[in-house]
Chains A and B, each alone.
Chain A
Amino acid sequence: DQQVKQNSPSLSVQEGRISILNCDYTNSMFDYFLWYKKYPAEGPTFLISISSIKDKNEDGRFTVFLNKSAKHLSLHIVPSQPGDSAVYFCAAREDTGNQFYFGTGTSLTVIP
């Protein structure tokens, strides 16, 4: 049972435009959400996180939005750069412990 879902396996965006990556979850006990970026042959790299008490967190070109009522999370990258091309994973933590659940990833390609 996939509790964190990334329904778009891939996304292509022109350089300079906005990239929007989406993530849906089913467990209302999640209290902490994270986004990771992964290049081939490397481990995931942390990008940004958000607590369930907030609805937005911004860090440079990256903004994460949380809509708890819709159980939906999104990552906005503005402006997109070719170096952003990677697989992006969203993850969530249950508030009853430290179990982390990851989505299956969205492969972002930024076209120069």
Chain B
Amino acid sequence: DSGVTQTPKHLITATGQRVTLRCSPRSGDLSVYWYQQSLDQGLQFLIQYYNGEERAKGNILERFSAQQFPDLHSELNLSSLELGDSALYFCASSVGDGIGEQYFGPGTRLTVT
């Protein structure tokens, strides 16, 4: 158990809908990272927050947005969902800002039908 929690574990929704994925980092970690893993793909970095501020942006679509709240939990919002958005979404946390080991949650499996 990494100490990072993600909810929900599974999500099935229809195209055009909007969903919110939630992540609680390990106690004491200030950074939260979001990744997408599609079928047969490596992990694609989406976005990173450090202590509430956006610090780095990767291949995140404009339909996706994220935020980190004062209690350090983070939410990833996916809107106007398309079939291609079906993937595993991982959240990770670390103590430092982009450095040091990242602890990953178990992931949220999103299926868009």
Contact = CB atoms under 8 A, between A and B. Distances in A.
Interface residues of B, number: 28
Contacts of A30: none
A91 B44 CA distance: 10
Interface of B: 2, 4, 33, 35, 40-45, 48, 55-58, 90, 92, 97-107
Contact of B106 (A4, A43, A46, A104): A43
A42 B31 CA distance: 20
A89 B104 CA distance: 13
Interface in A70-95: 89, 91, 93
A98 B48 contact: yes
A49 to B, nearest CB: 7
Interface residues of A, number: 25
A99 B56 contact: yes
B2 A45 contact: yes
A34 interface: yes
